[in-house]
Structure 1
């Protein structure tokens, strides 16, 4: 850990590349001047630098945060295989009960690969949230549940989440985007060999993105 910290500190004093854009998007308006996170391949090429960014930035103000801003943060965590941060972001999104997944606005992202990843994330949100909803937990349930609340929720009609309409209209990529995951045996970030590999995400495959199925359940 000390060596890794030294290497990161060294890079900060020896950078020759222009700095990465800081993902501070907090508005649904895509014409906002707030910068977006870089495209997938740029993040992957400069993984350590971007990890520094996501680990040192502050959490957004909940009153100013938006579904689209959260979607872009999840995009970063998926590209970097930061499954704990992804899990925390999913849980935070869940407790914003007014943020219906189908109402996530179309980001109209100009980068085709980033746009495709964003579309796939909405499908992951649906899978994750509907898993909890099928267990009888509504989006407005508090973090700590009592027996009386659980009995009440059992009488409620389950309302499943749906993906936004724009997500299915985002075209599949012409060239396969491979997003590596941490290989515990080889101690490195490596992509899956093919779409037939065990653990491949079918939702990402629909957009020609090869990735290990992200950890999306937090029950």
Structure 2
């Protein structure tokens, strides 16, 4: 049996849509040949596979363009974001919404701000997205022109969201002052030599500029009804234990496990 016949038999023994497309393609070739009076076109093994590969490549390109359509619109965050109870009730949908964003800044604004970062921290903490909130904390730290004490009062109309926002600056203060206490400053490069690290550790207390929480955070009312933020443990969501609660949020009647906020 000739190689072309073997190739044809192999193709026909694989009933796939790609083979069907190839057959349609070959019928068109034969039809054109017959119209020209040449009878059915005979092709060799090499030509057979070349045509088959052409059809298969076209299908792959079509599948790629269909499964990954070009994104024509930007996706901005909602501002203000969902209340905590709504986020907790539909975590997967909200996380999907966050991941689809093409911008971290609300629509109509060109520059980021401490307030926008505060709301992003709120979202990640409610979702217990450790990587997300740690990245945002470090992002805030690198903005040396954003003193924690100058975060403006959001005056959020939602009581639960406002209470949660009031607890976040204290987390920043604890994380930042831990670094400042060992001599790091918000202008310190991310990578330093051992000698530079030793010099920073010897920084005098008088030269250390510690952070403080904004005044408005001390006047936000405690929630009448406890708000419980579930923890992610593998595939499960669990309630935090009493000994795991963050004291700042507990005073606001928010049951939040103490977040992992320390970094250097």
Q: Confirm or deny a common fold (TM above 0.5).
A: yes
> What is residue 179 of structure 1 aligned with on the other side?
229
TM-score scaled by structure 2? 0.65
> What is residue 162 of structure 2 aligned with on the other side?
115
Measured after TM superposition, the shift of residue 190 of structure 1 is: 2.0
1:22 touches 1:36 (CA, 8 Å); kept in 2?
Answer: no
Question: Which protein shows a greater Rg?
Answer: 2
Given the alignment, which residue of 85, 102, 118 partners 2:149? 102
User: SS of the residue aligned with 2:88?
Assistant: helix
Q: 1:93 to 1:200 in 2, by over 3 A?
A: same
> What is residue 45 of structure 1 aligned with on the other side?
89
After TM superposition, the runs of 4+ consecutive aligned structure 1 residues lying more than 6 A away are none
Q: For 1:106 and 1:215, how far apart are their aligned partners in 2?
A: 25
> What is residue 240 of structure 2 aligned with on the other side?
192
Count of aligned pairs between the two proteins: 183
1:90 touches 1:125 (CA, 8 Å); kept in 2?
Answer: yes
Q: For 1:180 and 1:134, how far apart are their aligned partners in 2?
A: 32
Answer yes or no: is 1:161 the counterpart of 2:184.
Answer: no
2:77 touches 2:104 (CA, 8 Å); kept in 1?
Answer: no
CA RMSD of aligned residues (A): 1.9
Q: For 2:233 and 2:189, how far apart are their aligned partners in 1?
A: 36
Q: For 1:85 and 1:210, how far apart are their aligned partners in 2?
A: 20
TM-score scaled by structure 1? 0.78
Q: For 2:126 and 2:104, how far apart are their aligned partners in 1?
A: 20
Measured after TM superposition, the shift of residue 189 of structure 1 is: 1.1
Answer yes or no: is 1:72 the counterpart of 2:134.
Answer: no
Measured after TM superposition, the shift of residue 149 of structure 1 is: 3.9
| Structure 1 residues without counterparts, runs of 5 or longer | 1-20, 25-34
